[in-house]
Structures are given as C-alpha cells and as structure tokens.
Amino acid sequence: MGQIFQLGLIGNPVAHSQSPKIFQKFFDNENLPNWNYNLFQLSNIDELKPLLFNNPDIIGFNVTVPFKQTIIPFLHSISDAAKAMNAVNTVKVIRNNGDIFLEGHNTDYLGFLETTKVLPSKPQKAIILGNGGSANAVKAVLNNIGIPFVSVSRNPTANQISYGSLLDLTFNEPTLIVQTTPVGMSPKVNVSPIFPFQHLNENVMAIDLIYNPEETLFLKQFKNHGCFCLNGSLMLQKQAELAWTIFKNNEKK
C-alpha cells in the first residue's frame, strides 16, 4: 500500500467531530488512499508527546478545545497569525532523523471571516461569549472588518462585561452575538450559555461556533425570536480547507 500519511484531531471531547468526514472527501477527491484522519481524545496536553512518538505516521493534526492555547509551549515555530491570536488549531509535524518539530498555524480566522460574509447585513456591534482560542480568532476578524465588540467574562477586564451585565443590554441596532464556548455541544445538548433571550428581536444575528448538534439550544432561542442564525459548519469547512493545504505540503523525512 505504500507509506501511510496520518492526520487527526486532538481535543476533549472529540467524538462529535465532523473533521474525519471532511478530510476523507479531500483524500477521495485527490485520489490519496494512503491518507487517513483519526480522532485523538487527550485528557491533558502532556499526552501529546507520547501520542506523536507512538504514531510515527502522524504528519499533522488539528487542535480543538481545550488545547488551542495550551499547545503553544510545545511548538517549535508558530505562524504570525497564530501568534497574534495566541491560539493554534493546525499543527504540521516535521520528522527528521528521529526528531519531531511542530509548526503551529491558525486557520480559524479564515473560517470565521468566511462565515461573516453570509450575514444579511453588517452588524454595528458584536458580543462574544467565551474567552478561549476560538474567541481570539473571532476578535481578530471583527477588528479587521471594523465591528466593535465586547467579550463576556466571569471576571471582566478591559473591553469585557460580566454575564450579569447582559441583563442590561438592548438591541436597537444590528447586533451580532457569537457563541464560542463548548456549552451545548454534543452530547450535552440540553444546556445553553446564560443570555437574556427575552430581550432579543430581529436586529440580532447569532453565530454559534458549535456544529454538532446543527441547532443548539442556544440558537433555538434566537430562532424563536426571529433572529438570523448560523452554526459553525461553514467555519469548520473553510478552516479545514486551509488546514488541508498546510498538511498536504508536508513531507516526512
């Protein structure tokens, strides 16, 4: 069969991921039967080194919650974009005479940027739920396309508000809400982040970066109030396409 080229996803949890299906389409479209994509659930980031050592065919992997930031100290190089966002979701593995070098990238930026192009109008402001690696990509995109935002945090600092402050919000102008936390993701689909759903109106647009389930309990609340809603499927697809270009240009040595 020849040399195997192994890709995968590290995170916790990962069973919900659609990445294997997406990458299998890439492999099929380019007639690459020696490539495959697996899910690697890690209990902590320290399990990464033995994973790579015990699986010498791994030449790259994606990173999801909760490791998009904690992986950074393990990297040997990091792209300018990933450094600016302080988050990595794509890692190229370069093997050379038994040594392993890890090269970090961030493709979430492109994924979220493409998602914003589907919005029916340009929001005048945005509110971001969550402060992890995905939130950093969202912030970078909003900064670059000129949409002011605030983040919601349990311990707010500059440019952040508390969850309690959400109760005082009004939506008199086009407003984008971006949900970046894993709350509501499969299998725990019966929970939702805190939000004053009773204040919603048709001025509000909502993006939940979760894609499994396709419609979270969070998004259902927005839909019930006539809001434009998107899940994370488009972001997943677009970031995967860029990650694929990074992976397939790799060469094992």
Active site residues: 68
Q: How many helices (H) and strands (E) does the chain have?
A: 7, 12
Task: Calculate Rg over the CA atoms of the chain.
Answer: 19
Rounded to whole angstroms, the Cα distance separating 70 from 45 reads: 7
Beta bridge partners of 8: 38, 61
Beta bridge partners of 100: 95
Rounded to whole angstroms, the Cα distance separating 10 from 47 reads: 10
Tell me the C-alpha to C-alpha distance, in Å, between residue 42 and each of 51, 65, 150: 9, 11, 32
Rounded to whole angstroms, the Cα distance separating 133 from 151 reads: 13
* Cβ atoms of 22 and 236 closer than 8 Å: yes
Rounded to whole angstroms, the Cα distance separating 6 from 213 reads: 27
Structure tokens at 73: 């100290």
Structure tokens at 197: 């759903």
Q: Which residues contact 168 (CB under 8 A, 6 or more apart)?
A: none
According to DSSP, the β-strands at 149-152 and 99-105 are unpaired
Q: Which residue intervals of 55-204 are DSSP H helices? A: 80-85, 108-116, 133-145
